[in-house]
């Protein structure tokens, strides 16, 4: 709805990578990217009710994919990028995901975390997975399963710029997010489309009371529920500008977060 107003030119996402590169995404760009990725998912056979697992770093493609799933009625499960292959497999098997989306790597404290290799180990244990979509982040060489793996960038070349949103019931699952598993087997918590969105839209207004010109930054990881609510769904539903940061809070110096706050006017 924001692209039908003056907010179409407003910044939706300020992204900063650990290595210093930046991206700025307006609401019109966000809308276009979400639709194009939704088109890709549909071409790969993803439809209403299908499960899509997202094992990605904190890059803009993560919220794009979450919103693309919501647009076509698919159910996303974001898996924290610090988890092991077995932890990924447990979650993917529990939801019977058709698609897993990962990246060629992630930066963490100056090192590249081999997300694709970890995903490959996990998918060996997951018979439900039909395709693995890979996002280019680091440029690292990665192992490749020709019949299974696809680059997101290649799929986007022929993607449609508009996908009609799939009507769903208010009780239709929006996403399934797993508990950490520190006290037992991880439990998949189902969040419904209507209830979750209404509550988080309202709670954001009641708790934060941000202004139109505010830049909002929740420093949580999208892999946890706070990140879902306070990075993606709530602030974007209000047309806010958010900050999305990829790396560690104290790398390369302990001032990194303070530098980001000053840079973007948080």
How many other C-beta atoms are found inside a 10 Å radius of the C-beta of residue 219? 15
Could you state, in chain order, the average pLDDT of each consecutive group of 10 residues for the chain (266 residues)? 92 97 98 98 98 98 99 98 96 98 96 98 98 98 97 96 98 96 88 97 93 94 96 97 96 96 98
- Report the pLDDT value the prediction gives residue 182, as an integer from 0 to 100: 78
Confidence at residue 1, expressed as pLDDT on a 0 to 100 scale: 87
**Global pTM?**
0.96
Element (H, E) at 189: strand 188-192
Q: What is the CATH number of domain 2-264?
A: 3.40.50.12780
- 37 class by beta-carbon count within 10 Å (0-12 exposed, 13-18 middle, 19+ buried): buried
Angle at which helix 27-43 crosses helix 61-72, to 10 degrees, equals 60
Among residues 262, 258, 234, 228, which one has the least CA distance to residue 58?
A: 228
The confidence score (pLDDT) of residue 209 equals 87
Residue 66 CA to residue 146 CA, distance in Å, equals 25
């Amino acid at each position: 709805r924001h692209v039908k107003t003056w907010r179409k030119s407003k910044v939706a996402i300020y992204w900063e990578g650990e290595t210093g590169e930046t991206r700025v995404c307006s609401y019109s760009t966000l809308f276009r990217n979400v639709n194009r990725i939704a088109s890709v998912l549909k071409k790969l056979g993803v439809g209403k009710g299908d499960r899509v697992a997202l094992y990605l770093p904190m890059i803009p493609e993560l919220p794009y994919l979450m919103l693309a799933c919501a647009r076509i009625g698919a159910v996303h499960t974001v898996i924290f990028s610090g988890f092991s292959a077995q932890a990924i497999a447990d979650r993917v098997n529990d939801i019977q995901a058709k698609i897993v989306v990962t990246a060629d790597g992630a930066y963490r404290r100056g090192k590249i975390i081999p997300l694709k290799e970890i995903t490959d180990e996990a998918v060996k244990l997951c018979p439900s997975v039909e395709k693995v979509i890979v996002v280019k982040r680091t440029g690292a060489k990665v192992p490749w399963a020709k019949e299974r793996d696809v680059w997101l960038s290649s799929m986007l070349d022929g993607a449609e710029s508009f996908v009609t949103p799939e009507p769903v019931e208010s009780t239709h699952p929006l996403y399934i997010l797993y508990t950490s598993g520190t006290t037992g087997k991880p439990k998949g918590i189902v969040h419904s489309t209507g209830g979750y969105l209404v509550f988080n839209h309202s709670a954001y207004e009641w708790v934060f009371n941000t202004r139109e010109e505010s830049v909002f930054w929740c420093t949580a990881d999208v892999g946890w529920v706070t990140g879902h609510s306070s990075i993606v769904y709530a602030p974007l539903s209000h047309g806010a500008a958010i900050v999305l940061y990829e790396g560690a809070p104290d790398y390369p110096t302990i001032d990194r977060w303070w530098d980001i706050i000053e840079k973007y006017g948080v």
